[in-house]
Structure 1
Amino acid sequence: MVQPPGRRSLPDWRSGLPEDLLESIGKRLASGHDAAAFRSACSPWRAAVPFAIFGPLLLLPFDADSDRVGFYCVSEKKVFSKTLPDVRGKVPCGSSCGWLALMDEAAAVTLLNPFAGAGAGAGAGARRIELPPAGEHVAAASSSEPVYKVHGRWVLRSTDDYGGDIDAGRVIKLQDMRDVFFREIVLSAPPDAGSECVAMAMLGCSTEVAFCRVGVDNAWTLLDTKLDFSVASIVHCQDKFLAIDYTGEISVFSSNAGAWTLLPSLSPPAGLCHRSYLESNGELHIVGAMVSTSHETQTFTYSSAIYACNLHDRTPEWSRVKDIGDQTLFVSKHFNGSFSGTSVSEYKENTIYFSEPLYGDPYDMVHRLEIVDVVTGRSEVKPVHEKMQGSEILGWIRPNLWKGGGYSEHKEKSQIEGTSNVTGSPKHEM
């Protein structure tokens, strides 16, 4: 093609740079924002900067009457906000695979990717997916008191010991929806990744869970976990869902059998408090604290501890982890969803980042971050932002800028599904 006079042809950056050079440039990007811009250029550039390197952000509390959502970037030490009209009138009930689960007063659930949309090359339809609303069967399994729908609104009625109504009932407000319906929703994979995505929901107070296949089912199905106490956490690990109750007992869901199976021999490590569960390198990990008290001074001290087990072992058991190599663990306190991965610039390896300190002053409303060195056990608490106050941070969310449909071409499935596929194995201490 003949170029107009005085106009130079632009170089073809897509084919003009070798793969090793692109990877070298990608490793030197200063921030997640730079990485996002680099990946959006073209397919070869996107493949050179895998999804796993995206550093997570802290999801800040937001007002249901507003459409502004704040995020704090630890590596860049700053807060930024996005306008997300879909959050208005909804309460968050999960953060999984880079997507938010949002519920309204009708118990209808929306999955939202806050980092997709026009800026990431995806249309509005690619970043919002509707799940089936909760029905009365879900309400009955989740609440110890009768729940009815009256004129489109959910009503909770208190009863006496004989089953009689104490009052005419009260309308369940938005801020109370998680206590009655979906406390937290966990995904098996990003819903736009091109593979089957299952949403598993922990209910308000129940030994049952609810699940649906995203884009397939038009109603939630209830499953009995066979646990003795209410489910406190749900984890997707080794292509299975795990339900963990308040005592630390675990039940495993097998899609082949369509039922839950207890792991009676896998009791939680003795003395471990404030447990959080996650998958890392194909193993189930538990993060908590060992607490020691002084009766003389009326004080206590604690140190964070990590245990791991392989569910494929004939007799799975917890073993102490003292070194996680080049990995970083991101643990949420408000939401149970946690994950591991390699870090972008400014994140420390062999470190645990807690979205809120495990133990802190309940009257201190300044958002704080606890950073723990896995090898030494030492921790430091830093304010997220001196001028930012309010309720607890909701949890971590890792930006998922991927637009579904072509991920298998670049073999990034392991980076898209759940946790990142990082190198290096943790060292276990029995």
Structure 2
Amino acid sequence: MANWSNLPRDLLDHISKLLNFDTDILRFRSVCSSWRLSVSSPSNRLPNRVTIKPKPDTTRFPDKGAFYLSKRGIYRLSLPEDHPEKASSGSSYNGWLVKVDQDFPGVFRLLNPLSENPIDLLATPFGKNLNLMNFRIDELGKEYVLRYFGEPPCAYAGDVYLEKVVFSMTPPWGGSNGDDDGDCVIMTIHVSGKIAIFRFRDNSWTVINDLQYPFDDLIVYKETFYAVDYTGRIVVVNADLTLTEISTSVLSGESGDTKVLVELDGELLMVDRYLNLGSNVDSSTHDEAGYTTTLFTVYKFNEANKTWDEVKNLGDDRLLFVGDNCTFSASTCDFSGFQRNSIYFKDKHTSREDCISVFHLEDGSVGPYMTYNQLCSPPPSWFSSPAL
């Protein structure tokens, strides 16, 4: 039998860099002394909450004071294979989807996986704990938000902007000379629809003025910053903070209302979402003033031809989740009752906060609502009494 404590240091270093969740780091460090020395304690790594204090004379954001970058991880939570409850419960405990907010060390909040709303755990006994060390945790995605310290300015609900935020600990354009070593970068969409960049090295924001149409979404794909605008035009953000167009508009007729980017099995996809005014839908499930999703179209970026090719099949067991700030993929093998080649989503303006809908790519139909407790409410038996 192999002696795992004798793994080469470079291999341990590579593995440790793939660990993003604190419980995974703790498990890794607990194997043996050589593994423990290869990765720092979670408290010494980049925190989930990073303070941002831009130079007052350079920021174009409405707030001149400090705010912070907050990370949320989206995970599949499941019982270990050898857990006795796993064998007795069958497929109903196959996996639960949760978003974990850890703004403060040792303090976790479970959030709705498709929004920022806290999960209602009133069904669990008061004073009980969910010990994440007892479960298998698989990361499906991550999202970042920029939040104000203290009271936000009038008309802002806590987020600096409600648009997509992406973050890189090392700039994708970092050169071989090491000039960009240690320079973290935030990219978001300015209120004007333009791309805004914050470089920790410069401690300032730059708003890129290249704008044909407002941008809809951003992504770090293959160590490169990509952005897509309202028409489906995709651009790369360069080191000098200019934009290079690598694909023209996807429009060949009617287009959707919002576009999001997601990586699926190494491919870059664009999900085009069609919205309908709420007054045209069932008032028992939607706000009259809101919008509801009626259709999705999925495209795959053809790197050779620099074009978008429509996709009708996500893969044998693949599905997508489209959330407020994060779009991510999963496998039907990991979630009981979910259908392949489908998109699960929640409309932002639905009156039923606890419900999601499903869109089937194969026939273009929108399925009935399903409640969140089928997706992201771990059973009460998973909770334990806190240690005294």
TM-score scaled to structure 2, two decimals? 0.50
Which TM-score applies when normalising by structure 1? Answer: 0.45
Larger radius of gyration: 1
| Structure having greater relative contact order (Cα 8 Å, sep ≥ 6) | 1
